[in-house]
Amino acid sequence: MRTRVKELRARYNLTQEDLARKVGVRRETILYLEKGKYNPSLKLAHDVARVLKTTIDHLFIFNDEEEITE
């Protein structure tokens, strides 16, 4: 999974620490999110998207090869 967290965070002149404080997590969590090494809970994804004034779909880019099966 890739993310636009770093790009959007920079747009709003937020540090990793600033964003972490606003969503209630540690700075390291934001670092791992930006690197695509952490799959956030739905609540965290929602909170980050809200702070960055975007949608979850725009913020997180999922691999096109993954298919949802029932």
Q: Which two tokens stand for residue 31?
A: 């670092």
Structural domains of the chain, ranges and CATH numbers in brackets: 2-60 (1.10.260.40)
Per-residue pLDDT in tens (0 to 9) along the chain, 70 residues? 889 999 999 999 999 999 999 999 999 999 999 998 999 999 999 999 999 999 999 999 877 545 444 4
Please name which of 5, 60, 61 lies closest in space to residue 30, comparing C-alpha atoms. 5
> How much is the pLDDT for 64?
59
Residue with tokens 């540090």, as numbered in its chain: 15
Identify the pLDDT of residue 62. 77
* Contact in structure between 41 and 34 (CB atoms under 8 Å): no
Q: What is the pLDDT of residue 68?
A: 46
Any idea what DSSP says for residue 27?
Answer: H
Burial label for 6, CB within 10 Å (0-12, 13-18, 19+), is middle
